Structure 1
């Protein structure tokens, strides 16, 4: 086996985490060009790490060798959410998610005027959906509780991108400390719901044979505050921006297969999250390169989705590719991971996304307002244009926003 291209550097001084987090897309692009390889090594979070930017290597990492490359038990996700089916290694169980996609959509959830910051509007929509579905908290019925939970979820989420340093002194608290306090408050609200609610998902969860007294509350915390609202907001923002003033609107409305191609292309070009990280449990190989035990491995979804060996014109928005050359290549998307440990909320997010997009296409026309905006993306912690775009929506037949 060959040595991984690149250099992992020396501990601490050779760490490239700041360079990566500053601009992960540029970081990977420069390394790929320098080493002539879509798999290379560097030092991330002070650990020698294999960076996977190849579609084939991603499949090897997440599918063929999922029993070799394991979740990191010390990562921030585990610190912030505890022991859940997302953070635990081993066989994943999805029982608690069966049937969760039977949420009836309310038209009020899609009331959009203009011009609006679409990312904010869609994040509100995602929050309404998950809190209504999983916790029986509805913005129109319990507005104060809804706003409190939404604010706490935002504070808690920021713990995932904060240094895991729990410091609190007069007049100042670290971001991780604020996130930990938000988590404690959310857990208290969730526990009260579990004790008092007999209906809906939260009521059903109590009857499941879950291990441990805190298992149900930890999973509810995961469902309401983790990734679904952010993923939905990111993908819907990219969808509205990509189709703004685009003649594919009419075709995607009348052709369900074409709409599916549009949504796959949105996921391919603008995945909500930059990727995922694993740790090598033993000496192994990846894409023909030797990976020593203890090495990290991170797949970069943005780069995987633009691997030119799989996707011709990798930087172009081409929905037609999914009914032609790439018709059988959906498995090369890692928007929500891949393999046995893919995202537990993948089907639910896909359901929400399609419902929202179909509703928008049936009822609205829209355009960027103002027409000229800076749409350069930021990729962490959630991908979206760095300057949140504003869009005007006009309801069909009304002439009104």
Structure 2
């Protein structure tokens, strides 16, 4: 058993949280170079913290030793969402997962396919009409919001536009508070972001509770009938499921998909992905590998343990960095290159080594639903459009927090495939 490389620093003075949150990718890469390995320690949120950037360490943390490394009961997610499947530990988390799993599998998923297709059609059918480039992240975030509010809350944008707009604004306010300093201050003419988020949460909870009492259809009705631990559990989980977190994750991955498959040089890749669902699956795995929507996740050691051969004392933090794990050269050859074929070759059957949505027994319960979202949207785009960056020269440098995407929102021009074929026919 070895001591973790690096220095956890002194309390407060040695904290590196600002450095990490300013640019987490540069932070972990500099530390790896300095310490000569993919596991090291520093001080994060004023707690000695092991940083895990290897597949081996991630698998130990999230799968083999998941019972030894727990969610932090004092983190901001608990403040904003309460006790949910994401924030609880131990038996409570297991029971919640057992109760909720049925809503995200089998018939419940398949019953939503028509709605997902209708949202794709409504949000994406006019991408080429204006003749102007589109800010794709905004387009996809709106699409993700329509999907989430329609599926989880039975609020359809075309049927209840005012209620939809109100909930969308409240979710945005709630989200901004989630990523702000947890300081609850309210004075005349000014409120802190966290205070505004708490107010938005209370208003959302009123809407959610009304839905649970009066709407017995779809996801809302099914959730209300589940054997959950207390009366507040259903409303807290609905708050989590309709939060801005999911639309932003969907928008992140779809933006990366659009960017990597854009332009004339990727025309054959787009054609192949549109004709072969297995190839589209490999493309999306590679998009998720290289541009994970979330930078990672954090745990607290419940007892002395080891990760990747290094000692982690009880009470220390551990954070896995998905961006680093997904680029571990021990597992992924040429890790910085976009190579969908790797998932039919050396990495076939190794999807579980990705951790964008967690991994192991605490992985995201909605990952199958997200997969359906993404594939349906991507297939719609591939069947109906060609696209390219417009203007062709843009700064695509990514920012990684709170959700990954280019720091400067990219703009893309879309051309309908039927129009392209018509133009080619006229030319000939």
Place the TM-score, normalised by the shorter chain, in its bin.
over 0.9
Partner of 2:122: 108
For the residues of structure 2 that align with 1:61 and 1:226, how far apart are their CA atoms? 27
Partner of 1:300: 321
Match of 2:221, SS? helix
Could you tell me how far 1:374 is from its partner in structure 2? 0.6
Partner of 1:157: 175
Question: What per-residue deviation string (whole Å, max 9, x for no partner) do you get for residues 87-119 of structure 1?
Answer: 111223223434442312202132323411000
Compute the RMSD of aligned alpha carbons. Answer: 1.3
Give the TM-score taking structure 1 as reference length.
0.97
Check the 8 A contact 1:73/1:88 in 2, yes or no.
yes
Unaligned runs of 5+ in 1: none
Partner of 1:3: 3
For the residues of structure 2 that align with 1:220 and 1:122, how far apart are their CA atoms? 21
Work out the number of aligned pairs and report it.
400
For the residues of structure 2 that align with 1:34 and 1:296, how far apart are their CA atoms? 21
Structure 1 pair 260/125, CA: closer, same or farther in 2 (3 Å)?
same
Partner of 1:233: 251
Structure 1 pair 100/228, CA: closer, same or farther in 2 (3 Å)?
farther
Check the 8 A contact 2:253/2:288 in 1, yes or no.
yes
Richer in helix (by share): 2
Give the TM-score taking structure 2 as reference length.
0.91
Unaligned runs of 5+ in 2: 423-428
Match for 1:189 among 203, 207, 228? 207
Partner of 1:64: 64
Partner of 1:315: 336
For the residues of structure 2 that align with 1:291 and 1:206, how far apart are their CA atoms? 41
Q: Which moved more, 1:59-68 or 1:160-169?
A: 160-169
Question: What per-residue deviation string (whole Å, max 9, x for no partner) do you get for residues 262-315 of structure 1?
Answer: 100000000000000000000001111100000000000000000111111111
Check the 8 A contact 1:235/1:272 in 2, yes or no.
yes
For the residues of structure 2 that align with 1:124 and 1:302, how far apart are their CA atoms? 26
Check the 8 A contact 1:273/1:380 in 2, yes or no.
yes
Q: How does 1:206-285 map to 2 (within 5 A)?
A: 206-245=224-263, 246=266, 247-285=268-306
Match of 2:414, SS? strand
Could you tell me how far 1:226 is from its partner in structure 2? 4.8
For the residues of structure 2 that align with 1:359 and 1:311, how far apart are their CA atoms? 30
Question: What per-residue deviation string (whole Å, max 9, x for no partner) do you get for residues 302-359 of structure 1?
Answer: 0000011111111111111111111132221001000000011211111100010111
Check the 8 A contact 2:290/2:323 in 1, yes or no.
yes
Match of 1:225, SS? coil
For the residues of structure 1 that align with 2:386 and 2:275, how far apart are their CA atoms? 15
Check the 8 A contact 2:104/2:368 in 1, yes or no.
no
Partner of 1:132: 150
For the residues of structure 2 that align with 1:309 and 1:386, how far apart are their CA atoms? 30
Check the 8 A contact 2:301/2:316 in 1, yes or no.
yes
